[in-house]
Structure formats: C-alpha cells, structure tokens
Structure 1
Amino acid sequence: MHVVPGIAAFVLLLAGCGSVQGHAGTGAGCGQLTTADEKAAVFFVSSPGATGACGYTYAGKPSGRVLTYPPCTEVCTEPWPSPDGHYTLGGLTVTDTASGHAVARLSDDAAYGYVWGSDSRHLCGLLNGPDRSLVAMVASIGGRPEQVKLAPVFTRVRYSDLNLVMCDPRHERAVLQTSYQHVTAIAVVSLGDGAIVAEHDFPDTGPGFPEHSTPVVTGVAVSPDGRYLAVLHAIQGAPGSPGPPSSPTGASPPSRPRVVAASPTGGLPPPIPAYLDLFDIEHPGPPIARLAGALDAAFSGDGTLLAERVPQANGSEASQVVRWSDQQVIWHGSETLSGEASAPGVPDIALQIYQPGQPSNQIVLIRPDEQPIPVAAGQLTVP
C-alpha cells in the first residue's frame, strides 16, 4: 500500500490510554477466560435488563469475556466488537475484551466512519481527498496508518449516500456502496494501489422512484472472509399496494442482519423481495448463483451459508439458513430473524430470533449439517 501525502492523518494512539467507555472484563455469569478461549472467536449477548454483554464461543460456551455498556448521557455509544470478539471499538477507542484495557484511539478524520477489518487487527475508514477523490485509510492496532488514494469510482451513477461495507486487509481489498433511495452501485477496490477491481452499477432512480415493475437493489451483504457478495433485488410496490409485512413488535428493538440497505422509499410500500444474486469477489464477473428473494441476508463466517429473513404467504415473517451452493435450506424457523453474528473462517452462525408475545429474543447457533444449539435469551451486540 502507498501512503498519500498531504491528507489528514489517521492516528492510533497506542496502549496506555487508560480506562475508557465500553471497557470489558470478566464478570459473574459469563464464565472464566481459559487458555482455549484466548484464541477462539466469540460473539456477545446482552441479557434483558443487563448493563453488559457476555461473550460466547461458536461452540455455544461462555468465554469469560464481557462488554460493559457505558452510561448513556447525551449520546449513547455502544461497543462494536471486532469480528473475532477480541477487541471492541467504543466511540474512537479500541479496547481489549479480555482485560478491559484501552489499546488504541482513533482520530476523528474519517468522513464516512470506521469499520473493522476482516482480520480483527485493522480498522478502516474513508477520507475526502483532493479533487473530490476518496482516500482509504487502513491502520493496524499498534501500527502506523497507511492511506491509499482510490481511482475515480461511481462516476456513472447518481448517489447521495456512500458506505464502506467491508475491509479485507489480508487480500488488500474493500467493498464500497452508494445509494440514492435505493442502492445504485457497488465497487470492489484494491487497497494496494487504489484501482477498481470491479464495479456493479444499477439503474439510477433519478429524481423519482422507479416504476413498480422495475427491480431495484435494496441491500448488499459481504461474507466475513471477504470472498462473496450478495445483492438483494426487489420489486418496488405501486402506491397503495400492499408490500411485505413489517416486523411485528418484539420484546426489545431488534438489530438487523449485516446488510447495508438503501435509503427509505419516501412513503411508498416496501419493495417486495424478488431474487438474490451472489458474486465471487476473488473472480470478478457475472453472478455465480441466483437465489429466491429475501428481506435481509447475512453470511456465515466461512461464506458457505446465508441466513435470511423471508416473508410468508400469511403476512408473517420467518427465518432460514440456506447453503447457497446447492440452495439447500438447512434450517427453517417460524421466528423472525433480527440479528446475526459470524466470524471469518467459522462455519457456524449465531442468529437472534424473536416471536411476538415472547419476553425476549433468543440466540441460537446454526451449524452445517448439525442440530441447532440454543445459547441464551437476549440480544446480540453487533454493528
């Protein structure tokens, strides 16, 4: 990667920052940190009424890692765990979840915010560079940042929002998305030289909305290992027509699966899921698979499974996990999918599901070709 001079620096202040909001440590009811758990990927679950979240391994066992939520004053900053759960970003501070010690602090230069790298050891952001260019920032925990000026991107579409969807330092690539009422383009860029590896442009919605028979892109999801890209297509409902069901009221506000969605549709009925295209980022080209439509989708850690929230004919919603290579449904539930957690390379996926009338969300681990593992009642701590 090449450093771009003249751009505001992306700074990580190293260990010794002192106590910070969102710190973590061992706690009652969350088990004890063992030697085996020190390297295992974990996800975090907050129980109803609790002020923190307990870590669990993808075997469904308490890991001894704990996230403590900071007191909410004027602004509420929730901790954002790294993909393997070993670090947490709270505001601009990075914390070790085993010890609770601050290990780094970010600058506030990023115009489009920060995301965790897929390796859990880097953080990435975007800057506005000269001549309306974009600059990708990549910094390791305990290392110096690097900045890469990106080639002109999204020049053929209209957009109002820009998101850094995924950062994969191991393979020196990132995925960007733009939207204008709906997703208008997705690009894979090189973190080595800033080149555009692939760009997928979708019809610009222009000043109004597309005709109700025109497919639009409502969201994208990237596998945690940075290999696959899922693009969700839907048909925009005509004014006055019924759309897919809205999520029923749950016991607690649900989080959403790892899909970067477009902007709201301005009072029109929600788009009706049509189909899902899947791309291989390592081999740019046409879609390698097409699946039935879904309201939301998220990958397992190794990219082989898709967890989906799907509408039902009776107006309700259901959850399912699909092995996309042969489109085999390996798990189906009548509950609504309201969140997920996964870690690069891990074949299992943790789902947050809820049923109207139940006192809380439930967390369940879905494993390929094995029985699901109930973990706990509560809510996943996810981006």
Structure 2
Amino acid sequence: MSKHTTGLMPAELKTQSAQFQDRYKILQKLYDQLGRCRLKADAPRLKRMAIELELRVAKASASPQSYRFHMSVLLRDLLKEKGNFKKIKVAGKPVISSTKMTTGKHIDDTITRNKNYVMQKLADMLIDPKILEKHKYIMSRILPDDYIDNSEYANCERCNTKFKRTEIMLDTLCTYHPQKKIYNKDTKTHVFPCCGESTTSTSFMRLGCKKAEHHVFKNDSYPELRKISDFLKTSLIDGKENVLALDCEMAFTSKGFEMVRLTIVDFFTSKTLFDQIVEPFGEVIDLNTLFSGIHSEDMDKAVPYLDVMDRILTSDLINRNSILIGHGLENDLNVMRIIHQKIIDTAILFSVGRYKISLKNLTFETLSEKIQTGEHDSSQDAIATMNVIKKKIGVSINQVKWDV
C-alpha cells in the first residue's frame, strides 16, 4: 500500500452488496482514477471523494454483479467526462444535481454525514499515550521505584508561600492575584488583568489584589493524587464505541484541587448525557467561583464522588472504547481519577511549540464564538471543545442525524 492510499478503507454497511475485500480493491482503483482526472483537490480530499463515491455505488447495488457493473460505468465515465461530476451518474442518479459545480464540495458535505467516516477521522486524531504522559496524563498505577513521600509541605498555588499541609485549615494571610499575569507588548511588562498592576510596580498591590484566610495547593503526580482515591482504569470496562466531550470544574479543598462539577456531552447528538455537582473528599476552602461558576448553594445538590463514578463508568457511557474529547483534559481526568487511552486534547492538537492556546481564544479563532466572558461553565466548555473538533474535520456543528 502506498503512502497516498494509507487509511483508504470502504465505509461499513449493515448489508454488504459485495465482499469487503472486493470493495477495498475497487476503492483503490477509484482513487487512482480520480487522480487521473486531474481534479483540483489534494490527496485527503481525493480520498474522501473516492470513499463517498464507492459508498454510493455499494448502497445502490443489490448484488455483487450489480456492484461491479455500476462501478465499471463510474470508472469509465470519470475518465470520459474528465471528472465533471455534473455529467456523471451513479446507478442512474446524478452525482451532483446543482447547476453550480464546486469540485468535491457536495461530496465532502455528504461524506461528513457518514458516521463511520467521522469515526475514522476521529481515530486518526487520537494522541499517542507516550505524548499524553509528557503532558502529565496519568497512564499507569505504578509507583516510581525511587518515590519518596516528601508531601509534608506544599507551596501555595495562589501566593507561592510554603506551608505545612496539616495546617491548611488554620487561619493565615494569603495575598494573591486571581488571574495569571499576561505580557503587554506595548509596555513590555507583565500585567495582572484582575487589577491592572504590573510586575514592575512598587505598590503593595503588586503582591496581590485579593486576600484569603487559607493557603491552597494542587497535586499533579500519581503518588500524591492517589492519596485521596486511587485511579480507575477504563480498560477494565467493556462497552459500546462512543465519542464524548467532557469538562470538569474544580475547587480548592483541604485535600488539594478537587472536582466539583462534571459535564459529559455526546459528540453525535450534541445532547448532555451527564451534568452533576460533585461532593469533594476534602473540606471546601475556595470554590474558585470566578473560574468554576460554582456557588456555595450549588453544593447542596452535590453527589458523592463514588456515586458519580458508578454512574459514568459504564458500558453505555465512559468505557474502554470511548473517545474522550477535552481541552487540557489531563486536569479533568486527574481530578476524576481516571486512566484512559483514547484521548483527543485540543490543547495539545492546537499547541504551538510549548505554548498552549486557551480554550477561550481557540473557540473564538475557530468558531468566531465568545465563551468564558463571565464565570466558567463546564457545559459550555465541553460543547465548545467538541465543536472545535467538528470544525476541524469538516462536520457541521448542527449535525445530529447521521448515515451509518
């Protein structure tokens, strides 16, 4: 198989009009024939056109004999009409009925409605587990041989003060900026957007514009994260193949950074399958409302972590065959205490070198939509990430009905 035909596979059908191997061989011929027509299309688009045309022939054929006949006519007409789809028919039906011809556009629109084709495109976007590990995904439950527990002290996530973890609930003074500094190209200084102070300021406000009574910390290593609850492996859960976008909201507690809301959205129907306030293990210190959107009254509806896991780690929801989509998904899966293999992370996919674009900016650049203009919302973020991926593979964000 040449590098140009790698991944060129017939779309699956419930009722096959011809043997898969026969369809596969003819699909390669069809791709080559489209190349001879000198269409103004690159290799990926020619592949999509070939797959869609072959699928149309397969659907229109009642037997292997009619399949071969219809395909022979198509192969002949493609060369005869030099790829002019307005003059070409499949099983007697025109490929394009519109009077305006845009090479491959109609075919692309049709094929992106095919669920099997979209699943293949998503499978091609899965990130290698070794790359996931480099981005702080927990991929195994094995403790390092050289691990030494040095967790007696922690640095405050907000003010960077070193403190004793056992004293986290004692009153203290934590002065910090709630928003991270950004670089101002005009003044060539770093500025805190929460208050406008710069890092070069001599004002006391430079140290922080907000005060709190407790320090807070985050854990990002497996030995530390497992102290709350050990990780659950989705590889042990069999179930149907699905594609889910998810997002968590987190809060600071006496045990670190914990999940307080989880939203899961189905890729193909855009329906919210799960959206729940989650009760953390530790005592809440800061609900991080500016970023989490969670208020104290919301916690009255909280469900314990283990109950949430029982509801989402199932054959119908998150299982070994699920493709999970998210932005900076390592943060979500780590607070969920889940080890999963099939990941599409838009923070990694759209990164430039070491720089990772924010979901807010990525959504605006890709979809021309503004999100996170106020408090964050895990439902909005999950849907935005899902729609970014749909846009990338050419699927309409409003597409909810699919050809199988």
Compute the TM-score of the two structures, normalised by the length of structure 2: 0.21
Q: Which structure's CA Rg is the greater one?
A: 2
Structure whose residues are more often strand by fraction: 1
Compute the TM-score of the two structures, normalised by the length of structure 1: 0.22
Structure whose residues are more often helix by fraction: 2
